[in-house]
Structure 1
Amino acid sequence: MDVITTQKYVRLSPKKLRIVADVVRKLTPVDALEKLPFLRKNGSETFVKVIKNSLSSARQKGLSDTELIFKEVQIGEGPRLKRGRAASRGRWHPYKKRMSHIRVVLTTRKSEIRNPKSETEKVKGMEIIKTDEKENKEKMVDKKEDMGTVKKTTKNLKSKLQSVISKKGAKNKSI
């Protein structure tokens, strides 16, 4: 189950927030809450608020904090405020105060593990075949290659037989 949290119009530039996001992606949400206050970056306080918000919404859905991991952490650009600084001779030097949108998606660890629905599974012309039920060994067999080798061997045998027959016939005629 996924829990999606967004925080829009954060008054920090996306460039500064992406540095913190790279650190957060590698951690679990609980570990991130422990380590972010000690990270000396501007966006760490904002990320703490967003992660707390997403954890509380996950608890509302009945998920425990220890099972959650980050599926996605996105930093998007928001609108820019155009401001300026007065310069000499009545001029104006513009600069932009950038805003960001933060999107955090949490998911459970169990949903990351893929469970096959049936014993045979087709993947691009491949089929998994159970070879031994006691040992539960599986063998990958390529259907196309097997059919191709069978066809090639039968064609080769036919051509060899025809060439042998024609050679014997040619020898008998020359005698």
Structure 2
Amino acid sequence: MEAVAKLKNYPTGPMKMRLLADVIRGMEVEKALAILEFHPQHNATPLAKLLKSAINNWEQKNNGASAADSGLIVKTIFVDGGRTLKRMRPAPQGRGYRVRKRSNHVTIIVDSKN
């Protein structure tokens, strides 16, 4: 039985978050958490927190079964673009350059191996 956790409107670009999502896709949960804990990108912290939330959701669905014993894996993880805040930055000769502050939505689905 699979469990889902979602992170919405996290204020970083989706391409940066996809780099981390590609690293942990299909990996065992304990190994993915260990990688995210020591990863240098700042996106690793909320992604690890989201993964822990997905693990807890799976444990609640399965009547408190331990995630470590069942061989839980990251079945699916995908990153979608969220809302984009549009801001203006002063530019030479009275112009204004548009700055797009992007955000993303992350969805993690965890499931047991068998």
Shift of 1:44: 0.6
- The TM-score, its normalising length taken from structure 2, stands at 0.90
Unaligned runs of 5+ in 1: 111-175
Output the aligned Cα RMSD. 1.2
CA contact (8 A) 1:58 1:64 kept: no
Partner residue, 1:19: 19
Counterpart residue type for residue 21 of structure 2: A
Counterpart check, 1:106 vs 2:110? yes
- The TM-score, its normalising length taken from structure 1, stands at 0.60
Question: Which structure has the highest helix share of the two?
Answer: 1
User: How many residues of Structure 1 are paired with residues of Structure 2 in the alignment?
Assistant: 110
Percent identical pairs in the alignment equals: 29
What SS does structure 2 have at the residue aligned with 1:79? coil
Unaligned runs of 5+ in 2: none
What SS does structure 1 have at the residue aligned with 2:31? helix
Computing the radius of gyration from Cα coordinates, the structure with the larger value is 1
Partner residue, 2:66: 64
What SS does structure 2 have at the residue aligned with 1:56? helix
Distance 1:73 1:89 in 2: 45
CA contact (8 A) 1:16 1:42 kept: no
Partner residue, 2:48: 48
Distance 2:66 2:91 in 1: 56
Distance 1:27 1:4 in 2: 16
- The aligned runs of 1:23-34 (5 Å cut-off) are 23-34=23-34
Partner residue, 1:77: 81
Structure of greater relative contact order (alpha carbons < 8 Å, 6+ residues apart): 2
CA contact (8 A) 2:13 2:102 kept: yes
